[in-house]
Amino acid sequence: MKVGYARVSSTGQNLQSQIEALEKAGCEKIFQEKKSGTQTDNRTELQSCLDFCREGDEFYVTRLDRCSRSVKDLHEIIDTLNNKGVAFKATEQDLDTSS
């Protein structure tokens, strides 16, 4: 299953362009969040998305900064997904951990 995660930093921002890109990529389920990306521990939808993913799934974001604002957090997220057998992909950047 293709699972998407869309995030903006504040409630005044719009998620629509990310949602459309994730739908175009074939995401069947999209988790949405309006919170700062500087920390992962306060983002409940990110955690729900990571928990939802199962072996063989693909986790999609539009850009890396939509998932994480630090290399350390991004590494931890990708490591979590890899341990579950889930590929990480970005629709607007050349990143695909399945290959």
Q: Quick one: CA torsion of 31, 2, 72, 43, rounded to 10 degrees?
A: 10
Given 9, 68, 98, 99, the catalytic residue: 9
The residue behind tokens 């693909």 is 58
Burial level of 9, CB count in 10 A (0-12/13-18/19+)? middle
Q: Does 9 participate in catalysis according to the annotation?
A: yes
Tell me which residues are annotated as active site.
9
